[in-house]
């Protein structure tokens, strides 16, 4: 029984895994921010190109 208690205490006091989890959460946050930003920029670029296309089409008509 003492070995189980000692193992549980050692597991709770070990902080190396916590650091890895924190880095993983930070990486996930950065990735989601990049995906969101890219989606917003892509929509704006599509709108800009469509506007330019429409302006060229009306200028040549």
Which pLDDT does position 53 carry in this prediction?
94
Distance of CA 58 to the CA centre of its chain: 41
Predicted TM-score (pTM) above 0.85: no
Residues 1-31, buried b or exposed e (16+ Cβ, 10 A)? eeeeeeeeeeeeeeeeeeeeeeeeeeeeeee
Per-residue model confidence as pLDDT tens digits over 2-42: 788 888 788 777 767 678 888 889 999 999 999 999 888 88
Give tens-digit pLDDT for 40-51: 888 788 889 999
Task: Name the H helices within the chain.
Answer: 2-13, 16-59
Block residue for tokens 């670029």: 45
When the pLDDT of each residue in the chain is averaged and rounded to a whole number, the result is 85
Please state the domain extents for the chain: 29-60
pLDDT at 39: 86
**Angle 29-13-19 from CA coordinates, rounded to 5°:** 20
């Amino acid at each position: 029984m003492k070995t189980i208690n000692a193992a549980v205490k050692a597991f709770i006091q070990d902080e190396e895994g916590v650091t890895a989890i924190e880095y993983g959460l930070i990486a996930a946050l950065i990735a989601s921010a990049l995906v969101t930003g890219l989606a917003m920029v892509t929509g704006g670029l599509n709108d800009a190109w469509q506007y330019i296309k429409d302006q060229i089409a009306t200028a040549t008509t």
